[in-house]
Structure 1
Amino acid sequence: MGTSAVQSRTIAFIGLGIMGSPMAANLVRAGHTVVGHNRSRPAVDRLVEAGGQGADSIAAAVADADVVITMLPADPQVTEVVLGENGVLAHARPGTLLIDMSSVSPQTAVAVAEAGGDKGVRVLDAPVSGGEAGAVEGVLSIMVGGDAADFDEAEPIFGALGTTIVHVGPHGAGQTVKAANQLIVAVNIQALAEAVVFLEKAGADLPSALEVLGGGLAGSTVLARKKDGMLNRDFKPGFRIDLHHKDMGIVTDAARATGAVLPLGSLTAQLMASARANGDGSLDHSALLRGVERLSGRTAE
């Protein structure tokens, strides 16, 4: 646990998307000075309205920061924002704590940590699970890789963002655990989607069926959080298929590198790729349901 009470820190927050915006706002509410930067200005303006500050460049955002948090879509953006000519490491002060909360490959996490070390910047990889709802409610699960002392320093900050906060090992370990999380979530969503199509084709009352399934061994956070969207065919993105497709690539690459054989993971990765190929990439990952409908001869509306 953290060794001291929560103290106000100056935090640069780079990447104010679906997840980053509510996370940054929660840090403001926790009493921190949050300076936000995003490629598109409206997200920065929303943070300012929530009590934060805005910056027009990475350099301006990190200039006076004790802590820099990045929350970006994928490896190329993390590489550019952190390691680029005008990136975080080019402008952050020595001793700054950089926390990358994006979901990237373990190899990228290790590379960022090594580059940070060369600049005197301490680095944690701290990907999250819980989706948009978890970010808004401040109940994310946060899996953290890096040095234990840096984790202890960061834990009060994580406490404003999540409720399950675990140091899982050295640099890159957080991303390895996140890859496992994305494997489990994808397979769960696919199984739920198949159950929904099966139940509907069999003529069952779907809301009643999902209610009773949720109370037994088939119950899961995925079922609880995704059933309403599936019932209503409402696939407003909390976590886009495009991003889960990217994450399944991380899973399959890491599994190959470690010699782990993942039959269901490989199949689900292909089904995720199919959803994307069919134009569903911008929808929530619960839209895997549309793929099952296509395979079952039903027109996905």
Structure 2
Amino acid sequence: MRYGYIGLGNLGGHLAMSLVRGGFDVTVYDLDPKNAVRHVEAGAKHAATIGELVGQVDHVFTCLPSPVISEKVLDEILKHAKPGMCWIENSTLGRDDILRLSALATQKGLKVLEAPVTGGVHLAARGEITVLVGGDEALFNTHKAALEKIGNRMFFMGPLGSAAVIKVITNMLAFIHLVADAEALMLAKRGGLDLAQSWRAITASSGTSFVHETEGQLILNGSYDIAFTMDLALKDLGFAMKFGEDFGVPLDLAKLTQDTFIKGKAAYGGHAQSTQIAKLLEDKVGTDLRADGFPSRLT
């Protein structure tokens, strides 16, 4: 099958590259043509417009920063799509968003799979990210080989909308853990402990988390460079709070975390790294969380 990939940003660029490296016939498009250079060098084709891309492929992947942009891109796809084409959405959307956009696509004869990913940009670069899939199971099986190239762990969650819910849950936990990790590391620093050794001790303890073991290193380096912004964190926390209302679940920790990220955005801007939420605490108490031997980016 010939696949198109639209959206070659921090995350989508790696997902598209995994398809290319996996031997698939891939055509790519991004608003910034420079983002497509490495894909073309690796064997992908490049389309100058979304319409041109859709005309050259059988199915289309997208990875985009917001539901508004996903809808705009889908509208352009629908102008050129062939009946039976499948739209596979790697973006993080709310459940209502994916169901609404799926209805628009279905009216035009498109099939839809949601396949948001989780684990971080560094795992996407290695083809080792986790893929969460929602939709028709037979359709999932049709595209399973391609999805397996994107990530090395995959979970079929059920009907369309199911993957949106679990993806938001995983991100909600990650942001809670991030704020908690900054507080834990600050306690260690202000308590006079060696921060590098404290990080290792936490990693080997019952208090560890994926976020501590990955993003915690970027805090200690001082780069904070996780390739994920405050704006994106707040988007996902907004989805989580909406689910809390819809499902009748009070999300006290998530609300406190959302409030903290609102302060972080006010202090550093929406395009600041989400990991800079730790800097909010550093600035408040006048103490940095630096330690030697930690990377500026995860690989």
> What TM-score range do you get, normalising by the shorter chain?
over 0.9
Tell me the residue number matched to 1:263. 252
**1:113 maps onto 2:105 in alignment:** no
**1:66 maps onto 2:58 in alignment:** yes
Q: Secondary structure at the residue paired with 2:56?
A: coil
Q: Secondary structure at the residue paired with 1:159?
A: helix
The TM-score, its normalising length taken from structure 2, stands at: 0.93
Q: Secondary structure at the residue paired with 2:15?
A: helix
Contact 1:109 1:172 in 2 (8 A): yes
Tell me the residue number matched to 2:223. 234
- Whole-angstrom CA distance in 1 between matches of 2:40 and 2:66: 25
Q: Secondary structure at the residue paired with 2:10?
A: coil
- Whole-angstrom CA distance in 1 between matches of 2:61 and 2:148: 14
RMSD in angstroms over aligned alpha carbons? 1.5
Runs of 4 or more consecutive aligned structure 1 residues displaced over 3 Å after TM superposition: 297-301
**1:148 maps onto 2:140 in alignment:** no
Tell me the residue number matched to 1:16. 8
**1:78 maps onto 2:75 in alignment:** no
Tell me the residue number matched to 2:22. 30
Contact 1:69 1:98 in 2 (8 A): yes
Match of residue 218, structure 1, among 207, 213, 223: 207
Match of residue 179, structure 1, among 168, 184, 189: 168
Compared CA separation, residues 57 and 76, structure 1 to 2 (3 A):
same
Q: Deviations over 1:195-252 (max 9, x none)?
A: 1111111111011011011012112211111122111111124222221111111111
Tell me the residue number matched to 1:3. none
Tell me the residue number matched to 1:249. 238
What amino acid maps onto 1:90 in structure 2? K
Contact 1:144 1:166 in 2 (8 A): yes
Shift of 1:283: 3.1
- Whole-angstrom CA distance in 2 between matches of 1:227 and 1:115: 41
Identity, in percent, stands at 28
Tell me the residue number matched to 2:127. 138
Contact 2:47 2:53 in 1 (8 A): yes
What amino acid maps onto 1:63 in structure 2? G
Contact 1:25 1:47 in 2 (8 A): yes
Q: Secondary structure at the residue paired with 1:168?
A: strand
- Whole-angstrom CA distance in 2 between matches of 1:64 and 1:215: 50
Tell me the residue number matched to 1:291. 280
Tell me the residue number matched to 1:198. 187
- Whole-angstrom CA distance in 2 between matches of 1:280 and 1:232: 21
Contact 1:235 1:283 in 2 (8 A): no
What amino acid maps onto 2:264 in structure 1? A
Compared CA separation, residues 62 and 31, structure 1 to 2 (3 A):
same
The count of corresponding residues between Structure 1 and Structure 2 is 290
Q: Secondary structure at the residue paired with 1:51?
A: coil
Contact 1:236 1:283 in 2 (8 A): no
Shift of 1:156: 0.8
What amino acid maps onto 2:16 in structure 1? A
The TM-score, its normalising length taken from structure 1, stands at: 0.92
Shift of 1:130: 1.4
Contact 1:10 1:34 in 2 (8 A): yes
Match of residue 89, structure 1, among 75, 78, 82: 78
Contact 2:174 2:211 in 1 (8 A): yes
- Whole-angstrom CA distance in 1 between matches of 2:182 and 2:140: 38
- Segments of 5+ residues of structure 1 without an aligned counterpart are 1-8
- Whole-angstrom CA distance in 1 between matches of 2:195 and 2:287: 17
- Whole-angstrom CA distance in 2 between matches of 1:131 and 1:217: 22
Shift of 1:284: 2.7
What amino acid maps onto 1:204 in structure 2? L
Contact 1:37 1:44 in 2 (8 A): yes
- Higher mean displacement: 232-241 or 194-203: 232-241
